[in-house]
Amino acid sequence: MIASQHKKERVYVTLNGYRWDDFNVYVYKSEDFGKTWKSIASNIPSSPVNVIREDPKNDNILYLGTDNGAYVSFNRGEYWETFSKGLPNVAVHDIVVQADAKELLLGTHGRSIYKANISALQEYEAQNSEAITLFDINSVRHSKRWGSSRSTWSDPFEPSVTIPFYSTAKAIQGISILSENETVLQSFSVDATEGFNYIDYDLTLSKSGSKTLMKENTKVELNKAQNNKYYLPKGVYTIKIGSKKTTLEIK
């Protein structure tokens, strides 16, 4: 049983009956200090429930651990989604949310501990019906070492930034990197899955994009790195997926 961090009247409880061969899902919510209870098992498959946690930032988000995996709800248990990428169908016995680091830790039975960043989850609003939801991107510190190697035997140092977004359907999505004048500097396509997607972008721009950027800003001089790639210089850029945009800053 856990008391809500956001509303003093709210409390959550999980139960299980696996010792008596009862594999029904028992997870409940009370909004009146436990006087009355409502099941929020919703669409969770039959499985003993071990733990429930409330998100410290967004009171609509709940995390749940069962004997068959972990789930997240964005509407306080009305509907649940599965944590799947990189997480096997294993019993999750404990969940800890690191509020400052915005990370979720899952303690499993026999398969160690799993960690995931939940900053995008905390920003997501379940009632949003748009096809793409694009989240904030962390700024990047520029380095002259991008694309260079320290020796003949070492690989070039290649930077990367993660582009997080939510897609309501499995589809091919085009991603564009735009200059301050919103001209295309680089573009590529990804196979987006339904749900949260995390795409790594290597901060390159195309050969035509490098020429465009130098025309727009005569103070910028771009040269190929040792790995024959062009990298974005310091500045503020726009990441675009469909009609959605967010900002990428290279300091």
Give the residue with greater pLDDT, 6 vs 217: 6
pTM above 0.85, yes or no: no
Pairing of strands 184-192, 171-178: antiparallel
DSSP 8-class letter at 123:
H
Question: Mean pLDDT lowest for which of 58-62, 80-84, 183-187, 241-245?
Answer: 80-84
Position 245 scores a pLDDT of 93
The Cα–Cα gap between 22 and 4 comes to 28
pLDDT above 70 (res 127):
no
pLDDT confidence of residue 11? 96
Using left for φ > 0, alpha for ψ between -120 and 50, and beta otherwise, residue 182 falls in: left
Distance (Å, rounded) from C-alpha 194 to C-alpha 167? Answer: 5
Given a contact cutoff of 8 angstroms between Cβ atoms, the answer to whether 41 and 79 are in contact is no
Question: Which of 63-77, 121-135, 179-193, 236-250 shows the lowest per-residue confidence on average (mean pLDDT)?
Answer: 121-135
In the block, residue with structure tokens 């969940």: 95
Looking at the chain, the whole-number percentage of residues with pLDDT higher than 70 is: 98
Look at residue 22 in the predicted model and tell me its pLDDT: 84
Which strands sit side by side in the sheet containing 195-201, from one edge to the other?
132-134, 161-167, 195-201
Q: How far apart are the C-alpha atoms of 106 and 157, rounded to whole Å? A: 32
Superfamily of domain 2-123: YVTN repeat-like/Quinoprotein amine dehydrogenase (2.130.10.10)
Query: Between residues 110 and 49, which one has the greater pLDDT?
Result: 49
**Given a cut of 70, is residue 177 above it in pLDDT?**
yes
Alpha helical stretches, state H, the chain: 119-123, 207-216
SS3 for 19? helix
Enter the tokens of residue 90. Answer: 């294993």
pLDDT in the model for residue 9: 96
pLDDT score of 12 more than 90: yes
CATH of 132-250, one of 2.60.40.10, 2.40.110.10, 3.30.499.10, 3.30.70.20: 2.60.40.10
pLDDT band, very low/low/confident/very high, at 234 (cuts 50, 70, 90): very high
Q: pLDDT (tens digit, 9 = 90+) per residue, 179-215?
A: 999 999 999 999 998 888 999 999 999 989 998 898 8
Cα–Cα distance, 208 to 110 (Å, whole number): 52
Q: Which of these, 165, 162, 84, 177, lies nearest to 131 by C-alpha position?
A: 165
Mean pLDDT, rounded, for 112-140: 85
In the DSSP assignment, the letter for residue 140 is: B
Domain ranges of the chain: 2-123, 132-250
Check the CA dihedral 88-119-66-93 and report its sign. positive
**pLDDT at residue number 21:** 86
Give the chain's mean pLDDT.
91
Q: Is the pLDDT of residue 219 over 90?
A: no
